[in-house]
Structures are given as C-alpha cells and as structure tokens.
Amino acid sequence: MRRVLILLVPLAAPAWAAAQSLELKPEQSQASIGDVITIGLSARFTEGQELLDLVPRTLLPPPEGMRIVSADTLRPYRNGEYRGKVRLAFYRIGRQPVPTLALLYRPAPGASPDTLVHAPLAIEIVAILPAGNPALKDIRPLQMLGGPVWGPVALLLAIVATGLYWLYRRNRRTAGARPAAPPVPIPSGPFDVALARLAQLEQASIASGNGVVPLFGEVAELLRTTLVEVGAMPHRGLTTPEVRGSLPASLAAGGLASRCEAILHDADLVKFAKVRPDRAAATTHVTGARQLLEAWRGAAEAGDAIR
C-alpha cells in the first residue's frame, strides 16, 4: 500500500510545476570582442499562470568583462508564450557564460510569486586578430598628399629669393639717395687750452723731484680729453690702436695719426711695462705732444672737417 502511495504523489502534484519554461536562443554561437550579440528570449506559461515581469532581469549581478546593452519588453505571442530579445557584449575571449536572466511570475491565482530562470548558456568569444603575432595587413604605408614635395619647396625658395633681392635693391636706392652729412668743423679753441695745460704739466714735472713718470700719463690723458672735446673720439676709454682708428682724416693726415699713436704708446710702456724714462726722454715726449697739438690746431683753423 505504501508503494502505491509513493507512485501516486507525482501524479497529485500541481500541473503547473513543470509547465512553465524560459529559453534563450542566441542568433550566433560565436562573436568577437565587443560585438553586440542578440539573444532571443521565449517564456511559456500555462493557463492560470500570470507573468509579473515584462522585462527580464539578471538573477545575480553581471560578471566583469561583459555588458547588457539592452533588453526588450516581452510581448505575448500565442498560447501563453512571450517573446523578446536581449543584447549583450563581451570583452574577454574564450567561452563566456551568459548571465542568468529571471522572470517573476505567479504560478496560480492567489499563489505566492515565483522566479523563472533558464538553463545555463555560454557564448564563444574570439580575438579580433588571429593567435600569434600576425602582420597588420590593413595598415598601408604613408603616402604624400598633393604630389611631390619638390614643387612647393622650389616655389617657397623662389619667393624668399625674390624678397631678398627686392630688399637689396631698395637698400641700394635708399643709400644712393641719402644726402651726405654736412661736415662738422673742428674748433681750434680746445687745442689752445691743451697747449697751455701742457706747459703747466711740464713746469710742475720739472719742479717736482719725481715728476717724470707721472708726466707721461698726464700727457696721454690730455691728448685723449682734447680729442673728446673736439668730437674726434667718443670717449677717453679707447685703447691706443682704437684712438688711431677713430681719428678723422684731417687729424690723421700727414703722419699725424702715427705721431699720436707713438706718444700714447710711450705712455703705455711707462704705465704697464714699468719703463722708467729720464728727464731728457720726458722733455722729448712733451715736445712731441706740443708739436702734435699745434698741427691739429692748424688743421682746425684751416677749416678741415671730421669725415
């Protein structure tokens, strides 16, 4: 008797226990990384069962490396069947499990809600490139756009050369049309003052028992100061060769430039080379400076100009 009751228990179970079903059918069994995969969803219910969720939801949070792109609202098809589509994307290669989708339904009027799930499903995800280290056949070598580069470069060089030639011609025309600067007369007064000052320096040197060495430096400074005062030199800080090069033609003609350089050179020997001249050399030095100043004064009185 007990054996008969055990056999009758399954027959006494409600009919809805095995009537409902949820199936997933992917439109493709294989896809590449990142491809959107469309999966058809079909849910079947018997009479008296009520679907509570019209949009499938995941039973558990989706695993990493995949994304649910979209899920359709289920629409009734026929005989208690509902259909829709779910779109997924996977970002890991290999056989990837589809997350478990679930629908909430009521198995019978007045019964508590229950969850309907589908059988496990997996999709094969392949890499975009084949295994190994294949060559990138889609990449082509760079090509010049617009033809060879020599044409634009030659045009650019021609434009630059034309501009430089135009500037050269313009500067020549401007230099040719520029009026000559008027001659600057050399005043003779500073030379008279310098000659008087030179006589004072000579007398002070004679009166001093040790005035020969300072005399050479004082004479050199007197010549430099006089040239600055008449506008023949920009400042007194020029070296001896620079002083000769700055002299105007009127003050350098007839060997005057060489005589000026010799006097300044003697002063440099006393100052830097520690040469110790005697009184006779000092007298010769002063005489040469006096004759040079007189020659410069004569040139200034003659009306010569600085060029």
Distances (CA, A) of 6 to 3, 16, 256: 5, 20, 146
Q: Is residue 170 part of a domain?
A: no
* pTM flag (> 0.85): no
Q: Is residue 2 part of a domain?
A: no
Most confident of 170-174, 187-191, 284-288: 284-288
Q: Are 192 and 296 within one domain?
A: yes
* pLDDT for the residue 133: 56
Condensed to tens digits (0 to 9), the pLDDT of residues 15-26 reads: 444 578 989 899
CATH code for position 22: 2.60.40.10
Averaged pLDDT for residues 41-46: 89
* Of 261 and 61, the one with more pLDDT: 261
Condensed to tens digits (0 to 9), the pLDDT of residues 109-142 reads: 888 888 988 899 888 888 876 665 555 555 566 6
Condensed to tens digits (0 to 9), the pLDDT of residues 268-289 reads: 998 888 888 898 988 999 999 9
Q: Is residue 86 part of a domain?
A: yes
* pLDDT for the residue 8: 39
Share of the chain above pLDDT 70, in %: 81
Q: Is residue 74 part of a domain?
A: yes
Assess whether pLDDT exceeds 50 at residue 228.
Answer: yes
Averaged pLDDT for residues 224-249: 90
- Helix, strand, coil percentages in the chain from 3-state DSSP, rounded to 5: 45, 20, 35
239 band by pLDDT with thresholds 50, 70 and 90: very high
Q: Quick check: 33 and 46 in contact, CB under 8 A?
A: no
Residue whose pair of structure tokens reads 């008027």 in the numeric block = 182
Assess whether pLDDT exceeds 70 at residue 1.
Answer: no
Averaged pLDDT for residues 152-163: 87
Q: Are 30 and 107 within one domain?
A: yes
Q: Is residue 159 part of a domain?
A: no
* pLDDT for the residue 176: 57
d(C-alpha 260, C-alpha 283), whole Å: 16
Assess whether pLDDT exceeds 50 at residue 13.
Answer: no
d(C-alpha 57, C-alpha 194), whole Å: 114
- Identify the domain containing residue 288 by its residue range: 184-306
* Of 2 and 94, the one with more pLDDT: 94
Q: Is residue 137 part of a domain?
A: no
Q: Is residue 153 part of a domain?
A: no
Q: Quick check: 49 and 19 in contact, CB under 8 A?
A: yes
The last residue of one of the domains, among 91, 126, 161, is: 126
How does the average pLDDT of the chain come out, rounded? 81
* pLDDT for the residue 156: 87
Q: Are 188 and 121 within one domain?
A: no
Q: Are 121 and 189 within one domain?
A: no
The last residue of one of the domains, among 126, 143, 164, is: 126
* pLDDT for the residue 12: 42
Share of the chain above pLDDT 90, in %: 19
What's the number of domains the chain is made of?
2
The last residue of one of the domains, among 99, 126, 153, is: 126
Assess whether pLDDT exceeds 80 at residue 248.
Answer: yes
Q: How many Cβ atoms from other residues are within 10 Å of residue 93's Cβ?
A: 15
Q: Is residue 162 part of a domain?
A: no
Please give the angle made by the CA atoms of 192, 194 and 196, to the nearest 5 degrees.
70
Distances (CA, A) of 69 to 34, 62, 89: 11, 12, 7
* pLDDT for the residue 260: 94
Most confident of 76-80, 188-192, 287-291: 287-291
